[in-house]
Amino acid sequence: MRLPSLANIYRLGLKELKSLWADKTLLVLICWAFSGAIYTAATGVSQELHNAPLAVVDEDRSPLSQRLVDAFYPPFFRPPERIELAAMDPGLDAGRYNFALVIPANFQRDLRAGKVSDLQLNIDATIMSQAFIGATYIKRITLGEINEYLTGTRDESAGPVRLVTRVRFNPNLKGFWFGGVMEAINNVTMLTIILVGAAFIREREHGTIEHLLVMPLTPFEIMLAKIWANGLAVLLGVAFALAVMVERVLQVPIAGSLPLFLAAAACYLFAAASIGIFLGTLARSMPQFGLLVILSIIPLLMLSGGISPRESMPQAVQDLMLAAPTTYFVRLAQGILYRGAGLEIVWRDLAAMTAIGAVFFAIALVRFRDAVTRNQG
């Protein structure tokens, strides 16, 4: 058996880069994925409370109730709208208010007399992303104003133990810090699988795979050439996204080593590209490949820990996703970019990710000639 030729792999890779350069649609997709898509994902989907519509039913009409109403202001809330109790439910039903605070009659007098008085907060829970955050904000603002009115201080700690919160890595809890970086990480997976798999399918449909196989080339050389060429394009894209879009445009600090992340991303590109070729060996046409990509990429992105914590998923799903390299890459990338982790921390994820990629590469290599034979038949 002939040993792989580095010269063949290099020249075939250059052919792949020329084909990619000639495909303007894919070039636009790559440019958008690592520029505009990063910005829109970070700024277009906000996880913070912003201009939430709030209604107040003030049945007390006291200085304290007026003080509570005045405590809600932009950017978290719109100026509160005073309404009557009968208008509260229709307003919530129509979606005009996300929150409705009811201040009962004699509220100030009861507090002054030492009596327990209740405030009612009605929440439109269909806005799940803001319902919990908004309720917490309203509770904190309301209790702070009441404490300051009664005691002259906003300190809520009356017991002997005081909980002091220390927020690390993202001290201001800015949601776009997470969104922009994760969009870049997710686009690495999506583009690598699509580019490599589509390149394989395109050559099968045009019949150039058969031409390559009758030349002194091996399937190993053909596959490796596609992986390094398309992987290089994605690697340059994610480097631009992090260095320019994330750090400069969005002003999101990168805590760890960018070269370490890019080295780890190169290993992941090998794994993701192997998955792309494997899917290409399963599909017989570009439409079939598109369907397989949808069925593969969505679980990889949603269940790898990039959108929601893996700990919140069923144990069976957590165990199943250990067979996917995306799980290790997301954990590794978050450790490096968010928390400044070094190689001594992420090497286990790096090794597992590379090993899984090697398995997919081996399976794709075995299926390579079979897929070509099937296409000829």
Give the mean pLDDT of 25-50.
83
pLDDT of residue 343: 92
pLDDT of residue 158: 52
> Do residue 282 and residue 342 come from a single domain?
yes
Q: Which residue has the higher pLDDT, 148 or 216?
A: 148
> Do residue 27 and residue 144 come from a single domain?
no
> Do residue 370 and residue 319 come from a single domain?
yes
In a domain, 156, yes or no: no
Q: Which residue has the higher pLDDT, 84 or 370?
A: 84
Whether the predicted pLDDT of 226 surpasses 70: yes
> Do residue 81 and residue 200 come from a single domain?
no
> Do residue 333 and residue 270 come from a single domain?
yes
Residue with tokens 């052919």: 15
Range of the domain at 98: 54-151
Last residue of a domain, one of 89, 118, 151: 151
> Do residue 95 and residue 204 come from a single domain?
no
> Do residue 281 and residue 343 come from a single domain?
yes
Residues 296 and 288: beta-carbon distance below 8 Å: no
Whether the predicted pLDDT of 82 surpasses 80: yes
pLDDT of residue 132: 79
Whether the predicted pLDDT of 45 surpasses 90: no
In a domain, 295, yes or no: yes
Q: Provide the CATH number for the domain around residue 90.
A: 3.40.1710.10
pLDDT of residue 56: 94
pLDDT of residue 363: 92
What proportion of the chain, given as a percentage, has pLDDT over 90?
A: 41
pTM of the model: 0.79
> Do residue 283 and residue 209 come from a single domain?
yes
**Residue 47: which pLDDT band, with cuts at 50, 70 and 90?**
low
In a domain, 164, yes or no: no
Give the mean pLDDT of 88-96.
90
Average pLDDT, the chain: 86
**Residue 219: which pLDDT band, with cuts at 50, 70 and 90?**
confident
In a domain, 352, yes or no: yes
SS3 content of the chain, % helix, strand, coil (to 5): 70, 5, 30
pLDDT of residue 371: 57
The C-alpha R_g of the chain, in whole angstroms, comes to 28
Last residue of a domain, one of 151, 183, 205: 151
Whether the predicted pLDDT of 81 surpasses 90: yes
Residue with tokens 């794709």: 364
pLDDT of residue 4: 67
Whether the predicted pLDDT of 241 surpasses 60: yes
Residues 356 and 324: beta-carbon distance below 8 Å: yes
Q: H helices then E strands: how many in the chain?
A: 15, 4
In a domain, 68, yes or no: yes
> Do residue 276 and residue 326 come from a single domain?
yes
pLDDT of residue 131: 79
CA dihedral (263, 268, 269, 274) positive or negative: positive
> Do residue 180 and residue 38 come from a single domain?
yes
In a domain, 260, yes or no: yes
> Do residue 78 and residue 118 come from a single domain?
yes
In a domain, 301, yes or no: yes
- The structural domain count of the chain equals 2
In this structure, of 40-54, 68-82, 319-333, 334-348, the range with the lowest mean pLDDT score is: 40-54
pLDDT of residue 375: 52
Q: Give the residue among 34, 1, 19 at the shortest CA–CA distance from 225.
A: 19
Whether the predicted pLDDT of 337 surpasses 70: yes
Q: Which residue has the higher pLDDT, 171 or 68?
A: 68
Q: Which residue has the higher pLDDT, 13 or 153?
A: 13
> Do residue 220 and residue 292 come from a single domain?
yes
In a domain, 67, yes or no: yes
Q: Which residue has the higher pLDDT, 37 or 49?
A: 37
pLDDT of residue 2: 55
pLDDT of residue 163: 56
